[in-house]
Amino acid sequence: MAFGVIIIGDEILSGRRTDKHLPKVIQLLTERGLALGWAEYIGDDPERITTTLRRSFATGDIVFSTGGIGATPDDHTRQCAAAALGVPLELHTEAARLIQERIRDMHVDASGAPPDLESPENRHRLNMGTFPRGASIIPNGYNKIPGFSMGDHHFVPGFPVMAWPMIEWVLDTKYAHLHHAMPHAEKSLLVFELPESTLTPLMEKIEHDFPGVRVFSLPSVGDAERGGIYARRHIDLGVKGEPEAVAAAFVKLREGVHLLGGDIIEPDVAPAKPRG
């Protein structure tokens, strides 16, 4: 099981809006000792959304989907989720109640008359509570219009002010048992004067000798804006995984780089944090 995020909207792919969801989801997961396994961006194409959801439903992953759950012609996510699962759409009773409550909250009438819940406009608003059969709702503290969950897939609006608290609610309500479930550590060093090709056999040996430890290599041509040691061409080389194994693997990694003649600087590393 992994955490994934699907970010839906033509406006993201066209550049009309800059996506803010991906870094925020990473942050929310990291704060809980969890990690994002994958992410996908999709435009407002019903066929592609359906195909993507059908594939992700089959993985068993925990997935957050942002965008496309409104009731305008370019909102397709509710319909595509139903199609991907082969179930009908139906008005969710609790969602309908919340939407009507929102209608009452927003109604302004000098005469004091209640809103006409049967007006075409208000009936149309109920489409935002029409979910695939079997859905459960995700509360929306911003305007009461809920998102919905189908198993471990969770669908929220594209607006960050709504989506992010809703994702937090899901993480803290449904997956609290996964928070900080797996101890995790990460240690790295900066390597100068060696190409990646020279380091590759060492990286392969570390992963072979320390099962469960993953080696990472992030080459840089130099970051002049960051300056200092980072302005030089270098490789950020490190290991991550179970803390004790990482500590032992890092010793061997450092020794191996020295034997290869690499110039090493160990930057300050944040304290190890558990990760699921």
Choosing from 150, 178, 206, the residue where a domain stops is 178
Model confidence at 269: pLDDT above 70? no
**Pairwise pLDDT comparison (67 vs 116), residue with the higher score:** 67
Model confidence at 225: pLDDT above 80? no
Chain-centroid distance, C-alpha 7:
9
Q: With the CA atoms of 227, 229, 233 and 236 taken in that order, what torsion angle do they form, in degrees rounded to the nearest 10?
A: -110
pLDDT at 207: 96
pLDDT bucket at 69, cuts 50 / 70 / 90: very high
The CATH number that applies at residue 259 is 3.30.70.360
- For 189, the domain range is 185-265
Express each pLDDT in 159-187 by its tens digit. Answer: 999 999 999 999 999 999 999 888 888 99
**Pairwise pLDDT comparison (192 vs 227), residue with the higher score:** 192
Model confidence at 119: pLDDT above 60? yes
CA 63 → CA 87, 140, 237, 273, distances in Å?
A: 19, 18, 30, 23
Percent of the chain residues topping a pLDDT of 70: 96
The strand pair at 62-66 and 3-8 is best described as: parallel
**Predicted model pTM:** 0.81
Detail the DSSP E strand segments found in the chain.
3-8, 36-42, 62-66, 89-91, 130-132, 136-138, 147-150, 153-156, 185-192, 214-220, 234-241, 263-265
pLDDT at 271: 38
Indicate whether 239 and 254 sit together in one domain: yes
Indicate whether 173 and 206 sit together in one domain: no
Instruction: Output the CA torsion sign for 21, 22, 26, 27.
Output: negative
Residue 271 lies in a domain: no
pLDDT bucket at 257, cuts 50 / 70 / 90: very high
Number of compact structural domains in the chain:
2
3-state secondary structure of 146: coil
The answer to whether 71 and 122 are in contact (CB under 8 A) is: no
Indicate whether 71 and 166 sit together in one domain: yes
pLDDT bucket at 107, cuts 50 / 70 / 90: confident
pLDDT bucket at 154, cuts 50 / 70 / 90: very high
Mean pLDDT confidence for 146-161: 97
Choosing from 155, 178, 201, the residue where a domain stops is 178
Beta bridge partners of 7: 41, 66
Length of the chain: 276
Of the ranges 100-104, 107-111, 225-229, the best mean pLDDT one: 100-104
pLDDT bucket at 274, cuts 50 / 70 / 90: very low
Residue 76 lies in a domain: yes
Indicate whether 141 and 231 sit together in one domain: no
Residue 79 token pair: 């319909």
Indicate whether 205 and 147 sit together in one domain: no
Choosing from 178, 207, 225, the residue where a domain stops is 178
The answer to whether 9 and 44 are in contact (CB under 8 A) is: yes
Indicate whether 174 and 80 sit together in one domain: yes
The CATH number that applies at residue 119 is 3.40.980.10
Model confidence at 124: pLDDT above 70? yes
Mean pLDDT confidence for 10-32: 95
Indicate whether 120 and 217 sit together in one domain: no
Total Cβ atoms within 10 A of residue 94 = 12
pLDDT at 231: 79
Express each pLDDT in 227-247 by its tens digit. Answer: 777 778 899 999 999 899 999
DSSP 133: T
Indicate whether 33 and 101 sit together in one domain: yes
